[in-house]
Amino acid sequence: MDDRGVDPERGDMPKRRLLAPPEFPAAIYHCYSRVVDGNFVLRFAEKERFVRLLREAAAFCGVRVLTFCVLDNHFHILVEVPARPAQLPGAEAILAKLEALTSRQDIQRLRGEIAALRSRGDAVGERDLLQRYWRRMWNLGEFMKMIKQRYSRWHNARHGRRGTLWEGRYHSVVVDGAGEACVTMAAYIDLNPVRAGIVRDPKDYRWCGYGEAVAGQGGAREGVGILAAAVRRGTVEGWKCSMATYRLHLYLEGNDRREKLGEDGRPTRGTTGREDALKVLAANGRLPMGQYLKCRVRYFHDGAVLGTLDFVEKVFRGRRDHFGPQRRDGARRMRGVEAELYAARDLRKSLFA
């Protein structure tokens, strides 16, 4: 527990207060979390389990994973969280959701409680009971909590360890889903294994959204379809065309002649790295987005909000109390990149992590 009585392992709170404009019908977030001390403990079996739990949590919570990437010591998720619907699922629908989870504790107990309430005609009591499950749906904090808690329990049992697995609470950035920001963030996430020098092509990385989509996973292909529609400014395509559109986007945004090999015969991290980017910026130059994405850019982790000028200003007005009283506006142009993207935080130092 920290000094506020919050357990960081729960993962139900972002590292900073969440900027989620209530008037938006749906919100998209980039969420990121790291293993404590940066330990490289997520191997083949661990990543497989994490992805399984990610998909289960998304189905239960009613959110949509657009893409993701799980690496050896951290993960990224780009997730769309719909607004809470007017018609909430009934007891049978919730029980069906619980049956689909890997761990199905308490289902029989819940069935018994519902049957007892119905035998007494206690509709209010049944609604109060279901409320415990409704509050876990369409909620980013509960979605992240469910993933991190369930994975931590599995990981600790598998490895005979105890204690905190994740390094504090998760980071989150609100992302404009209507413009360039969403597909740029998606490319940044799917290119993680390329940026780390693990693979030359993101399709060859098993534990990212694009790699899953190429392998035929339905949820991943749905996410690519949404991202491809964003690239096409709203034009919806079949899945084959969507895959081609998004792949072209990845290569246009992330192209760095990734076929280049180092002296040891392994893929290098790319022709544009942090040091090269800093040299360009020092000369008052701006980087194409493709080169920008080759670095670990703090805007994608710490920008709080990412999108067009209007989008960031709208979030700023909707959450004015989250900013200091001297601040007059919300949008800050992303430094060092040619694209017209804005964030809610001006990163004057350490642009690249």
> Looking at residue 282, which CATH number applies to its domain?
3.30.70.1290
Distance CA(252)–CA(278), nearest Å, equals 22
Phi and psi, residue 288, nearest 5°: -60, 155
Torsion, Cα 150 155 156 157, to 10 degrees, reads 90
For residues 184 and 253, the answer to whether their CB atoms sit within 8 Å is yes
The stretch 73-97 carries a mean pLDDT of 94
Of 303, 234, 309, give the one whose Cα is nearest residue 29. Answer: 303
Which of 127, 147, 178 is at the close of a domain? 127
Distance CA(313)–CA(305), nearest Å, equals 10
158-162, 295-299, 305-309: which has the highest mean pLDDT? 158-162
The stretch 68-91 carries a mean pLDDT of 95
Answer whether residue 297 is part of any domain.
yes
State whether 98 and 227 are in the same domain.
no
Answer whether residue 55 is part of any domain.
yes
Which structural domain range is residue 118 located in?
91-127
Side-chain half-sphere CA neighbours of 311 within 13 A: 25
Residue 267 has pLDDT above 60, yes or no: no
State whether 210 and 119 are in the same domain.
no
Total domains in the fold of the chain: 2
Answer whether residue 2 is part of any domain.
no
End-to-end CA distance of the chain: 28
State whether 271 and 292 are in the same domain.
yes
State whether 98 and 195 are in the same domain.
no
Answer whether residue 353 is part of any domain.
no
Q: Which of 73-77, 153-157, 210-214, 308-312 has the lowest mean pLDDT?
A: 308-312
State whether 107 and 244 are in the same domain.
no
State whether 282 and 313 are in the same domain.
yes
Q: Dump strand ranges (E) for the chain.
A: 26-34, 64-70, 74-82, 171-175, 305-307, 332-333, 342-343
Q: What pLDDT is recorded for position 187? A: 92
73-77, 242-246, 272-276, 315-319: which has the highest mean pLDDT? 73-77
State whether 121 and 261 are in the same domain.
no
Residue 352: strand, helix, or coil: strand
State whether 257 and 164 are in the same domain.
yes
Structure tokens of 214? Answer: 């190429």
State whether 98 and 215 are in the same domain.
no
How do beta strands 26-34 and 171-175 pair? antiparallel
Q: What pLDDT is recorded for position 346? A: 81
Answer whether residue 134 is part of any domain.
no
pLDDT classification of 25: cutoffs 50, 70, 90: low
Residue 169 has pLDDT above 70, yes or no: yes
What is the DSSP-derived secondary structure letter of residue 321?
G
Distance CA(127)–CA(114), nearest Å, equals 10
Which of 73, 103, 127 is at the close of a domain? 127
What is the DSSP-derived secondary structure letter of residue 66?
E
Phi and psi, residue 81, nearest 5°: -110, 105
State whether 161 and 223 are in the same domain.
yes
> Could you tell me which residues are beta bridge partners of residue 81?
27
pLDDT classification of 2: cutoffs 50, 70, 90: very low
Answer whether residue 32 is part of any domain.
yes
Distance CA(61)–CA(144), nearest Å, equals 10
Torsion, Cα 93 98 99 104, to 10 degrees, reads -160
pLDDT classification of 7: cutoffs 50, 70, 90: very low
Q: What pLDDT is recorded for position 274? A: 62
Answer whether residue 3 is part of any domain.
no
Question: In angstroms, what is the C-alpha Rg of the chain?
Answer: 21
**Residue with structure tokens 């090999």?**
261
**Beta carbons within 10 angstroms of residue 205's beta carbon:** 24
Distance CA(220)–CA(205), nearest Å, equals 13
State whether 194 and 246 are in the same domain.
yes
State whether 310 and 203 are in the same domain.
yes
pLDDT classification of 288: cutoffs 50, 70, 90: confident
Mind listing the pLDDT tens digit for each residue in 218-258? Answer: 999 999 999 999 888 877 778 888 998 888 888 766 554 34
Answer whether residue 270 is part of any domain.
yes
pTM (2 decimals)? 0.83
**Residue with structure tokens 């792949």?**
247
Which of 127, 151, 185 is at the close of a domain? 127
Q: What pLDDT is recorded for position 279? A: 67
Q: What pLDDT is recorded for position 273? A: 55
